[in-house]
Each structure stands twice: as structure tokens, then as C-alpha cells.
Structure 1
Amino acid sequence: MPGQRLARGVARMLRSMDHAVLTEFVPSRGLRVDVISLSPKGEFWIVECKSCRADFAMDRKWQGYLDWCDRYFWAVDCDFPSDLLPAETGLIMADAYSAEIQRMAPETRLAGARRTKVLRDFARAGAQRLQGLTDPESISVSAF
């Protein structure tokens, strides 16, 4: 899928910046972000990957993501009409192998309680995914 290829390039770039990265993260019921990262400074960045104009036009949830990060970005490929994207958000040009920040997203600091929730959920999701990779059978084991 084109969006997943963009997410891979974005994740590689963020990892090269020493961010911890998760894809397909759910910050709240009804929301699922393409990429979220935790920077070395403790900032949460959300990146939504858009593969075409129609993909962007159909996205009605993106403004709800702003409350769950310190910086918000769009990731698109070089053929995407980037003038469609809101100027008050960040812009990343990406492909399946790499990405580059074209416009840094403005910082909007998360409130303390919200930051604690995102950090806890980010850590739990990362730990559960790692456990699922190292012991796939553990996914079906329930706690007693």
C-alpha cells in the first residue's frame, strides 16, 4: 500500500534522528495515526501519510490528532500537490526508503495529564509489539 511505504520511509528518517517510532498507533478510541514518534527531547510527533489527493480529501479525522502530539506533520511523495496541505502543519517528503522534513511543524506542547497518557500508551504498545515478535504464542495467553 502506498501509505505504508511512505510510513516506512518516515519511520526510517525519524529513527535516524534518534526517535522511538511506532506505526498504526491508537491514541484514543476512534483515532489511528500512521506514525507516532517520541523524540530524544520527549516530544511526541504524529505523521499522517497521504498517497494522493483523494486520500487527503477523505481524511476527516486529522484535526483530532492535534490534541495528541507536540508536532503534527503530513508525509507525501514528490508527486503530491503539497499546496493542499494546511500551512500551519509540518511537511515531510517521503518515499519507501527515506524522508526529509520540508517544513518543521510548530510546537504545541501537550498538557501534563495528556502527555502522561500518551507516554504510557506508547510504552505499552511498544512493549506488547516487541513481546509479540519475540514470543508470538504469548499473544493468546491471558493473565490470570
Structure 2
Amino acid sequence: MSKLLADPATLTHDQLEEGTVFAPRFDAAGLVTVVTVEAGSNDVLMLAHMNAEALTLTLETGIAHYWSRSRAKIWKKGETSGETQQVVELRTDCDQDAIVLVVNQSGRGAACHTGRKSCFYRRAAVIDGQAALEDTGLPILFDPAEVYASQP
């Protein structure tokens, strides 16, 4: 574990939930869930995961880093797209097993790889007795095919 992060196993229940020691509780895969919101608007931009290394890099640099489960590697948000996230505040929940990351989104303002501001650009609705997804109308701020053309 990083020197910045304490081991939650060394804390009592009260210390974990009421104390001042940051000791994130990673799941069996070594990940903690992160909800990323935009500073000012409080719009939910994305949901991702961090491992200890990504969390440490985020704390040390002030730029959001995540763990890409699909690529199995650290992912510096915006490294390819230029859509970086400057951390304004990092919060943890009561038992330190989830994080809310408040960020200023740079670039064109798109947090989603689809080129939209938010990854949550669709809503579920029941239409003619079937669950369906409806687009919320978030505009596409960049062309993903162009931005990620050189990516595998």
C-alpha cells in the first residue's frame, strides 16, 4: 500500500468511520469505486475505479488517475483526449469504500469517451411495455473516432 494511504485493518470501526485517517477499503480486486462530479454544477460526469496506485497518483498530482478494468492498467484521465480532470476535492464515504471526486473538467469539457460531457447521457424509460434507453440530448463535444484513431 502507498505511504499516503493507511491500512484500514489497523483501525477500529470508530476510527474508520469517525477518525481523520484516510484508509480506503479496496474490494477483493484491489479497487475502490469512484463517482466523479463536476465542480460548480455537481453534474455526475462518470463512474470509475481506482486501485492504490491510481489513488496515490491522484493525491500526489492533483490530476485524476483511474484503473482501467478493460485495459488492466493505470489511466490518466485525458492523456489521449486532452480532457483532463483537475481535482478540487476528494471525499470518501462513511466506511471508506467509495470515493466522490470533485473535478474541474478541462479541454472541451467532455468526460466521456463518447465525446459527451457525462457518461450518463441516456435515461431508462418504459416504452410500449419494454425498458428502453432515451438520449438526454447531451451534445457530442469531440469526435471519438478522430481523437482515439491511434489507440488499439
TM-score (norm 2): 0.31
Determine which structure has the larger helix proportion and give its number.
Answer: 1
Determine which structure has the larger strand proportion and give its number.
Answer: 2
TM-score (norm 1): 0.32
Higher relative contact order (CA 8 A, sep 6+): 1
Choose 1 or 2 for highest CA Rg: 2
